[in-house]
Amino acid sequence: MQIDRLIRVIRERGNPSALGLDTRVEYVPAAFARPHIEAGGPADAVRAFNFALLDGLRDLIPCVKVQAAYYERMGLPGLSCMYDTVAEARRLGYVVILDAKRGDIGATAAAYSEAYLASDAPLAADFLTVNPYLGSDGVTPFVDDCRTSGRGIFVLVKTSNPSSGEFQDLTVGDGRALFEHVGAKVGEWGADLIGSEGYSSVGAVVGATYPEQGARLRRRMPHTFFLLPGYGAQGASTKALAGCFDASGGGAVVAASRSLICAHRRAGTDDFVSAARDEALRMRAELNTALGQ
């Protein structure tokens, strides 16, 4: 199961973080990008940038989160770049999360799942983010494919964006917030997919920008692995995130995108790989200190 592999590679690297490849061509140093743009266009520059980062960080970072929107915006060349980026990350041994937030009625959800999670998926990733707003029949096709392929999903529970509370924090039914009801369903969907490391293939997206809510969910979801977006550029700190992890400092992975892929801008250098490594080392140390590791 990929959830067991994710936990083990985090342990091996001593680093519960994910490299978020939310890459825009504007983030690529101009001198590096120019020959690739001239030869093949912006998507070629993004591909080369991603490949260099993947190679340069593979000894430090266990996991990659590829945000589909940044590739779809470049059209067919961008989709080709996304496919190649996912394939290269998997080749280099990363666990790959495709952040595409798919979700639809049952038949369409099944088609999405066939594309990304099925055993013979043509766009295979190790994990896919899923939107549960349509209810169980929009999620169970993904869960079914997780059962047969060993891959996994991260279901949106409490997202990191500022307006997430407009719906997710509404009090519903028995007095719990809507995000807590969704969290309970995530636990149900994944109850029979718990691996040898004690966590289910059905995980939860929990915004790092809402650590108190994350800590509440952690107490109620002992077998659900958390994907924690919102670190760095969105303002979440590692110290506040400790409650989203389990008592052993496991059970979650923190996604960092711009803080890593744009580290060279803050450092005032075109050496984006070295700058990203420096930031990855700083982030790892900060996370381990916060988790008492």
Q: How far apart are CA 89 and CA 95, in angstroms?
A: 8
Note if 101 is an active site residue. yes
Residue matched to tokens 């952040």: 99
Helices 211-220, 178-189: axis angle to 10 degrees equals 40
Task: Please work out, in degrees rounded to the nearest 5, the angle formed at the alpha carbon of residue 232 by the alpha carbons of 161 and 100.
Answer: 50
Q: Judging by DSSP bridges, how do beta strands 127-130 and 202-206 pair with one another?
A: unpaired
Which candidate in 65, 101, 185, 239 is catalytic?
Answer: 101
Contact 218, 239 (CB under 8 A): no
Identity of the amino acid at 163: S
User: What DSSP letter does each residue of 114-168 carry, written as one string?
Assistant: HHHTSTT-TT--SEEEE--TT-GGGTHHHHHHHHHH--EEEEEEE-SSGGGHHHH
> Residue 204 pairs with which residues in a beta bridge?
155, 226
Neighbours of 102 (CB within 10 A): 22
* 3-state class (DSSP) for residue 92: coil
**Quick one: tokens of 236?**
């979440």
Neighbours of 280 (CB within 10 A): 23
Q: Judging by DSSP bridges, how do beta strands 127-130 and 95-102 pair with one another?
A: parallel
What positions carry a catalytic annotation?
101
